[in-house]
Structure 1
Amino acid sequence: MDEILSPDMAVETVEALWRNSQDAWFIVSVGGDDFCYHSANTVYLSHFGNEIPQLIGRPMRDVLPPGEYDMCVTPFRQCLRQGRPLHYEFRATQGDGFRDWSFELSPLQGQGGRICFLLGHGRDITDARQAREQLAQLRRDLTDIDAGRCAFLANISHEMRTPVSGLTGAVELLMAAGQNTEQQHLAAMICDSSDTLSQLMADILDYARLSSGAVKLDYQRFSLGQLIEDLAARKQTLLSRNSLHLRLLLKAVKGIELYGDALRISQLLEKLLDNAIKFTRDGEVSVTAQVAVREGNARLVTVRVRDTGCGIDISRLDDVFKPFRQLDDSSTRRYGGAGLGLAIAKQLIDLMRGDIQVVSQAEEGSEFVIRLPLLLDESHQVFAEHIVVDRSVLSGARVLVVEDNPVNKLVTERLLNQHGLNVRSAANGKDALSVLAQHPIDIVLMDWQMPLMDGAEATRKIRSMPGMEASLPIIGLTAGIDHADVRQCQEAGMNDVLPKPLESSTLLDRMAHWLSLR
């Protein structure tokens, strides 16, 4: 039979806990609007510098410094008024410094249910609070570092892409100028080298951004079939240069709209397609897309990119998604590149919680299979047909090119003049406002980063000018084409955004599109 604790033993147990506790305990009596010390354990006494004979019966206002008493008396009165436990914290002067304390205050009732005493139980939380503050500061520092890293990458992207854009545009103009065969051959070599440099630069920057966690997903409604067709159209020049045929098998996804990050999906498919084209010397590349139904409106998208290229030895399949890896050193010399394309694709797939597999054998080609969990947009089942652009609207149109880089400005002017546009130029946003105030303009090409006044501020000021609130098309030109860059351009009032280096056909098509809507 269990023994019952006697009243005397219970009292002794409580007293032992009171004496030996590592926390501070005290009891104050309630008398009118004041509180007097009734008892306290040694921990409380050691921290607040009093002996029992000096403490018992004394009002708290006579023991605690005025500032500390004011911090304590408010929760004491609240506990007495509400008749239930409460928590409070305060900072106490101790020695040469301060200590932070956390207390739990409980009312003790006497006969008749009247609250006669308040029991306080507290502990020193100085070290814990300092640790929390240090952790919070560390998080702020890491956030600042991440923001600085993102800003650095964005600036590096702009500074590197800007001269490459000028180089690419100048070479395109040179090739269109009708030079002799040798000059055409040299220009084509420069064009190939600038394309390689541009791709290498983009891969390094993309890999750095993904590795730093700076890339965030932005889900929007899109057509997977249209996305792949647009990507294929952008690769036609590269395919023709390599004498390759691209076969698209998209019947299963025609007319289906999905929710997903179209920009990132296009980016990862482009990496896979570029990889297939690079390692295929003859034959074809095929892209197959399918959508499988899952629960509710959830869908599993499967895209297969297959080539008839050199293939991958089975022993090397585990290395294909590692950064800075190619099949061997000879592959790097023969095919070029930094070995980042597939590593970037893998990072993007992981970011979207998908998976990727590769099936390949040496000399038998390769097939990359990606699976992405997306959502079906049930509100619009049929996607609009691809818009056919009529470039005839470009002839005679008045365009303002706002660009601070003299090479890019000259190249853009020459390109637009060749297609019958009347061109005016400005070196920054401030000069652009002056041109618009003096001359009629049909469309504006606006660089993003410029001295004196950048593209965002200039666009906002243009939108505030009478008659230009929405009627004047403004196309932003930016070295960064991330979601954040696009959103900033749109929020400033731009109609469209194009990345640098500029593709002349894309630029002309987008200009024709917006001019046709006026």
Structure 2
Amino acid sequence: MDTAKDGIIAYSKQISLFFVLMLIPPLVACGIIYLDGPEIRLKALNNLQAISELKANQIRDWLAERRFNLEIIADDRDFVMHAEKMVVDGNEIDREIISERMNTLSNSRYYDGVLLVDNAGKVLMNSGRHSGSDGHHIAQWIKTALEGGQIVRSDLYPSVSGHIHITHVLPLASSKSQPPRVFLVLHTPVEHTLFDLIRQWPMPTLSAQSVLVRNDSDRTLLLNNISNHKTAFNLYFPHEKTKIPDDITILEDNVWTPSKEVMDDHNQSVLFASHSIADTTWHVVSRIDREEIMAPMDDLVRWISLLTFAAMGAMTLIGWLLWRQIQHNHHLKLNLLSRELRQEGEHKFRRLYETMLDAYVMTDMSGQLIDYNPAFQEILGYSDEELRAPAGIDLAEKKWPIIEDEVFTQQILPHGKSQVCEKEWIRKDGTRIPVEIRTFLLRDNNDQPEAMWSIVRNITERKRIEANLKLAKEQAEHANRAKTAFLTTMSHEIRTPMNGVLGMADLLLHTALSNQQRHYAEAIQRSGRILLRIINDILDFSKMQAGRLSLELLRFDLDEVIVDLNDMFMAQARRKKVDFHCALTDSVPIHLLGDFHRLKQILFNLIGNAIKFTENGSVDVVVEVMEEREIDTLLRFRVTDTGMGISPEFQQQLFQDFSQEDTSISRRFGGTGLGLAISRRLATMMDGELQVESTPGQGSSFWFTARFGKQRAGDRKAISMQPTRRKSISNSDFRGRRILLVEDNHLNQEVAAAMFEMFGFQVTVANNGQDAISIYRATPTPFDAIFLDCEMPVLNGFETTKQLRQWELEHTNRHTPIIALTAHVLQECRKECLEAGMDDFLQKPLNLTDLEPVLRCWIDPNDQSDQIAKTTASDALATHESQDRSPLPTPDRDHPRKDVNTDAAHSSPILDLSTLSCIQNLAQKGNPMLPHRMMDHFMTQTQKLLSDLELAIERQDSQGVSFAAHSLKSSSLSMGAVSLARLGHAMEENHSRFDIVANHFSQCHTTFAEASEALNRFLILPQESEYREGSG
């Protein structure tokens, strides 16, 4: 055995030495190729580059020659004049001259079609075989020629006949100053002219040739025919191809390479060179097979290699036979080892398969069991004998559906597997068990479906956990709803008695008191406000935790906020002998958009703390700009004090909920420890942050940033027209004015009534909403305003408001201000008040400071406009209706000089000057906002009435039409909009004739827009102009 082995080794060495010797000749041949090959290749590439450049220059000269010929035609003034005259008068002599010249051109070898067209693209004459445009847009070429005033050459394109053409558009104009009116369109065939230049090769060759290509989007397009094939405009290939097709080349990285060696589609090495053609998108590509270049050296290598490999073949055969025997023995050993490893792996897999918690089951295509693991038995509850019985278990049954027909056809069969799906199986004992199944398709050697392998997981525990989580989520949501309801109820229940405490204290302080009594009353008021502030902090904190706190977008002036804070804290600072200063830097914008209530809350907290913890020092408030953009600005508010300071350890927990440095602080100064935590969260909601810098014994500096929008110019005007400071209301300012107070709590009735009577009001009290409606309807003299509680027995404030508004709409056409008295502070309650039809709201407990601006806003002491406007509207309406329901006035009859028409094209007036004069007089006598309020009310009510009219017409509701049209007429007369009132009158008169009503209604929107524009021009704009002049 060892001898045989030694013999094999010796023989192998001899063969190896022979192979080494036989490799010497081909290596020598390869060396020759390696040394001389690059030089031959470089020379061939340079030749190709020169040929490409030659072809490119020939094509450029050919195009220049065509252009030169056309310029000669354009310079022929007689021909151009004949063409222009023919376009103008169609003279037959001119036509014959033109036709003769066109026939001469079309019969030349350079043109096979000539067209004469006008500047609109209309063909006037044609000559030659190719007389159409083959789908190309002659009009576009003419447009380009008109814009440039020069000859336009099209790109190469295939004609309908299959031939390749270039079209030239020659503008013919006898004068350079005038645009051409006629164009000569010449179709040039290129297959036997231009393409012949490309096909010609300067030397004999077997494989070399040139082609013309251009870029076409992300592909390269072949422009000429090659190798007697119709390849022009038929052969595309993408730029990113790594191989090239026969007879063509490509771009590399979308850039034309001057020369290169590449492989074609048949894996043949070719050399190519390209050259661009000036003033075109074309490239000339020249190529030649590397085989043709290297043919002489390839022959030498071929003969040497042939002899070498013939000898090597014989020796290789002998060596192979010997090596085969050696390998055979080796493979026998490997097969034996592989079988042992495979058996061991199968045994390990089987053990893993049987111990898996997930069930694995294999079925045939009909659903019959083939194999499964013990986990599958455990899920179903059957024994191994029952599962393997001849009858077996069909998993396609409804009890154990491994797959369904829809899943099999849509998922398993096309994709080889299914999505994870959940099913409910029935165990042997009848109990139901949820499972999760995913199935895979197994195919045989012929790729035909053979079996299915499924993974089944018992998800009973997961379902139990999910059910518990769902229950916990529902319980949490229920608890959150209960918390919100609790906050709402407590807000109302706590603030209602606080209204009595603070209201009575406020009233008491306005009476004659001794010093001791005033001290007691002020203590009651101060303690009540502290308690109210604590309640507010707790409610804000709870709303923040519930995620229900939101910011409002309001217009405000920052300087007014600073002035209010200065007024609020100046007295407190003086009592503690603390210098208090507020300052705005020059660059800070004043007119802002944002929630200034929350801004005041943060500043109130920081300034209050600073004064509270400062003795005989100073507190400074500075506002500066951190970032400014076109629509918003980021401001920084810094509150600096010289107080006791804060230790570094406590600064880490300063903004935590209910945190104070020690219990002595709470006992000495009071507070909940929530103010800074709430302030930081509010600053974050304003797209900012709140930080502190402090040194114990030297003072602290709290600063926060907040982002606010900038008001537009119109917003600033509207705000600037309102006085920022008003004098206090005296008890005679509202003498004779009437208030309806709707409140179920007798203490609150007493407090509110006393406050109103201090201002001179006559107060009528109703205990609930139903009583208020009855009093309102029965009172002949209208109330100036209604203040009502939202939460009342019998009929609450929201339903009361809706019924009052409906009564006004149906009977009085008057809008009485309704102000809600609510103890709720949640934003949802405020929104509900406005949606119910209320105009404003006051938060309980009431105080004179908050009540005064609301009274000023809705009831002007000097304004009798409500009565006068109502009288004006009633008188005007009575005038028109007393004339036996005659038509409304026109310019040439009742009021020839008192009607305003803002558009001379209209034949009827738009506005009544007498009504406008009345409104302007009222505005000048102390109620400048009256036109604005009347205009806003008119716009809102008219839009609603037009919607009601449209709905009534659609439903064929004659009573609805009559009511809405009457209301439209009345409200329009109140504003002096006689044109719109005339349409309302006509629709009311013909309310049962829907064709006439529809005709009048079609004019309403246009008339309403005209009336609105005219009212704005005569009422609003002059008032704003006067205000600007007065303030300037």
* TM-score greater than 0.5 by the shorter chain: yes
Q: Which has the larger radius of gyration?
A: 2
1:357 is matched with 692
Give yes or no for the alignment of 1:385 onto 2:727: no
Q: Following the alignment from structure 1 to structure 2, what is the Cα–Cα distance between the partners of residues 302 and 147?
A: 37
Higher alpha-carbon deviation: 165-174 or 143-152: 143-152
2:501 is matched with 167
2:786 is matched with 444
CA contact (8 A) 1:76 1:105 kept: no
1:418 is matched with 758
CA contact (8 A) 1:299 1:375 kept: yes
1:269 partner amino acid: L
CA contact (8 A) 1:55 1:63 kept: no
Higher alpha-carbon deviation: 148-157 or 65-74: 65-74
CA contact (8 A) 1:433 1:462 kept: yes
Q: Following the alignment from structure 2 to structure 1, what is the Cα–Cα distance between the partners of residues 403 and 772?
A: 61
CA apart distance, 1:291: 2.3
CA apart distance, 1:81: 6.6
2:773 is matched with 433
Give yes or no for the alignment of 1:409 onto 2:749: yes
- Name the SS for the 2:420 alignment partner: strand
CA contact (8 A) 1:272 1:305 kept: yes
Q: Following the alignment from structure 1 to structure 2, what is the Cα–Cα distance between the partners of residues 69 and 499?
A: 65
2:592 is matched with 257
206 and 378 in structure 1: CA distance in 2 versus 1, 3 angstrom threshold: closer
- Name the SS for the 1:489 alignment partner: helix
CA apart distance, 1:169: 1.2
- Name the SS for the 2:368 alignment partner: strand
1:140 is matched with 474
Q: Following the alignment from structure 1 to structure 2, what is the Cα–Cα distance between the partners of residues 465 and 115?
A: 79
1:24 is matched with 359
1:434-469 CA-partner distances (Å, limit 9, x unpaired): 333334333232323333443344344444444299
1:134 partner amino acid: N
1:478 is matched with 822
1:177-192 matches, cutoff 5 A: 177-192=511-526
187 and 376 in structure 1: CA distance in 2 versus 1, 3 angstrom threshold: closer
1:385-419 CA-partner distances (Å, limit 9, x unpaired): 38327769855443332322221121111111221
- Name the SS for the 2:788 alignment partner: strand
* Percent sequence identity over aligned pairs: 25
CA contact (8 A) 1:402 1:445 kept: yes
CA apart distance, 1:286: 3.3
463 and 102 in structure 1: CA distance in 2 versus 1, 3 angstrom threshold: farther
Q: Following the alignment from structure 1 to structure 2, what is the Cα–Cα distance between the partners of residues 248 and 194?
A: 28
CA apart distance, 1:327: 6.3
CA apart distance, 1:290: 1.7
CA contact (8 A) 2:789 2:822 kept: yes
Give yes or no for the alignment of 1:218 onto 2:524: no
CA contact (8 A) 2:396 2:402 kept: no
2:373 is matched with 41
CA contact (8 A) 2:368 2:395 kept: no
CA contact (8 A) 1:401 1:445 kept: yes
Q: Following the alignment from structure 2 to structure 1, what is the Cα–Cα distance between the partners of residues 509 and 584?
A: 35
Higher alpha-carbon deviation: 189-198 or 13-22: 13-22
Q: Following the alignment from structure 1 to structure 2, what is the Cα–Cα distance between the partners of residues 304 and 444?
A: 43
The count of aligned residue pairs is: 508
Q: TM-score, normalised by structure 1?
A: 0.81
1:477-504 CA-partner distances (Å, limit 9, x unpaired): 3333243333333343333333222231
CA contact (8 A) 1:429 1:452 kept: yes
Unmatched 5+ stretches in structure 2: 1-333, 861-932, 935-1032
Q: Between the two structures, name the one with larger relative contact order (CA 8 Å, sep ≥ 6).
A: 1
Q: Following the alignment from structure 1 to structure 2, what is the Cα–Cα distance between the partners of residues 130 and 193?
A: 54
1:292-343 CA-partner distances (Å, limit 9, x unpaired): 12799775431112345x4336468537545556566665555444444334
- Name the SS for the 1:510 alignment partner: helix
- Name the SS for the 1:414 alignment partner: helix
RMSD value over aligned CA atoms? 4.1
2:436 is matched with 102
Higher alpha-carbon deviation: 386-395 or 418-427: 386-395
Give yes or no for the alignment of 1:458 onto 2:800: yes
Q: Following the alignment from structure 1 to structure 2, what is the Cα–Cα distance between the partners of residues 55 and 398?
A: 93
CA apart distance, 1:191: 2.3
Give yes or no for the alignment of 1:502 onto 2:835: no
Give yes or no for the alignment of 1:493 onto 2:833: no
2:809 is matched with 467
2:854 partner amino acid: R
CA contact (8 A) 1:227 1:266 kept: no
Q: Following the alignment from structure 2 to structure 1, what is the Cα–Cα distance between the partners of residues 713 and 423?
A: 59
| Equivalent in 108, 121, 128 of residue 455 of structure 2 | 121
- Name the SS for the 2:623 alignment partner: strand
- Name the SS for the 2:607 alignment partner: helix
CA apart distance, 1:356: 1.7
- Name the SS for the 1:387 alignment partner: coil
Q: Following the alignment from structure 1 to structure 2, what is the Cα–Cα distance between the partners of residues 45 and 424?
A: 85
Q: Following the alignment from structure 2 to structure 1, what is the Cα–Cα distance between the partners of residues 622 and 425?
A: 71
Q: Following the alignment from structure 1 to structure 2, what is the Cα–Cα distance between the partners of residues 69 and 328?
A: 69
200 and 23 in structure 1: CA distance in 2 versus 1, 3 angstrom threshold: closer
Higher alpha-carbon deviation: 383-392 or 437-446: 383-392
2:377 partner amino acid: L
- Name the SS for the 1:253 alignment partner: coil
CA contact (8 A) 2:365 2:452 kept: yes
1:509 partner amino acid: P
1:302 is matched with 636
Q: Following the alignment from structure 1 to structure 2, what is the Cα–Cα distance between the partners of residues 100 and 89?
A: 7
1:42 partner amino acid: P
253 and 264 in structure 1: CA distance in 2 versus 1, 3 angstrom threshold: same
316 and 97 in structure 1: CA distance in 2 versus 1, 3 angstrom threshold: same
Unmatched 5+ stretches in structure 1: none
Higher strand share: 1
CA apart distance, 1:73: 5.8
Q: Following the alignment from structure 2 to structure 1, what is the Cα–Cα distance between the partners of residues 655 and 484?
A: 24
Q: Following the alignment from structure 2 to structure 1, what is the Cα–Cα distance between the partners of residues 562 and 788?
A: 28
1:92 is matched with 425
- Name the SS for the 2:720 alignment partner: coil
Higher alpha-carbon deviation: 104-113 or 10-19: 10-19
1:63-74 matches, cutoff 5 A: 66=398, 69=401
- Name the SS for the 1:86 alignment partner: coil
Q: Following the alignment from structure 1 to structure 2, what is the Cα–Cα distance between the partners of residues 429 and 58?
A: 83
73 and 263 in structure 1: CA distance in 2 versus 1, 3 angstrom threshold: farther
- Name the SS for the 2:828 alignment partner: helix
